[in-house]
Every structure is written in structure tokens, then in C-alpha cells.
């Protein structure tokens, strides 16, 4: 059975989050939590919160045990971009893009298939 958790509109660029999500794809949940806790980045903290939420969803809503869960998908999608402007020389301005991301983590208790 698949269980998921989504963090939407996270104030960090998806490129930074993808570096962390690629590290945990396919790992068992316990191993993924230790990997996320050992990475000293803001993106790792956000992915860790989403991963813990997915585990809680699996235990509470689907009655799955934590030991049997595996990270099937960890995706960082692009959210809306906030556009701001800053002053530049000679009365001009330049754009600042503040990017957001949607973090999606899918867990499953099914055994990993071998092709």
C-alpha cells in the first residue's frame, strides 16, 4: 500500500531540495531518516519533516509498521515564484526571483521489485 505526504509552497528552490531527495529514494525509512538528519542543510530539514509526516500517515491511517516502509518516490516540484525588485545603478531596477517548491514523498510497504 502506498502512503504519501506533501509539503506545498516551501520557501526554498526546488534545485536545492532535489539534491536531498535524490539521496533518499529507494531507501528504507529508518535509513532515510538517518541520512536526512546527517545532512546540514535547510532542504534536509524540510524533507525530514515531510518524511516524518509520511511515516505518521502510514502508521495512523493505513496501520503499517515503520520497519516495513520504504521510500518509493521523493520529488521536489516547482511552485510559484515570488517576483521582487531591487534598485540598481542610474535609476534602473533588477528582478529578484524567490522560488518555492512542492515536496512529495511516497512510501510503500511492498517489497522492491527486481527486473
- pLDDT attached to residue 16: 97
pLDDT digits (tens, 9 = 90+) for 37-46: 999 999 999 9
Domains of the chain in start order, with CATH, are: 2-108 (3.90.470.10)
Q: H-type helices in the chain, by residue range?
A: 14-24, 29-38, 42-61
Q: What is the pLDDT of residue 112?
A: 59
Q: For residues 81 and 15, is the Cβ–Cβ distance under 8 A?
A: no
Does pTM surpass 0.85? yes
Amino acid at each position: 500500500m502506498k502512503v504519501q505526504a506533501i509539503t506545498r509552497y516551501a520557501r526554498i528552490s526546488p534545485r536545492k531540495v532535489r539534491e536531498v531527495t535524490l539521496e533518499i529514494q529507494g531507501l528504507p525509512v529508518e535509513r532515510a531518516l538517518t541520512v536526512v538528519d546527517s545532512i546540514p542543510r535547510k532542504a534536509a530539514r524540510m524533507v525530514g519533516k515531510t518524511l516524518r509526516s509520511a511515516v505518521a500517515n502510514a502508521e495512523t491511517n493505513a496501520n503499517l509498521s515503520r520497519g516495513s516502509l520504504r521510500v518509493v518516490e521523493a520529488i521536489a516540484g516547482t511552485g510559484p515564484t515570488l517576483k521582487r525588485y531591487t534598485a540598481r545603478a542610474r535609476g534602473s531596477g533588477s528582478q529578484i526571483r524567490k522560488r518555492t517548491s512542492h515536496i512529495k514523498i511516497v512510501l510503500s510497504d511492498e517489497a522492491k521489485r527486481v527486473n
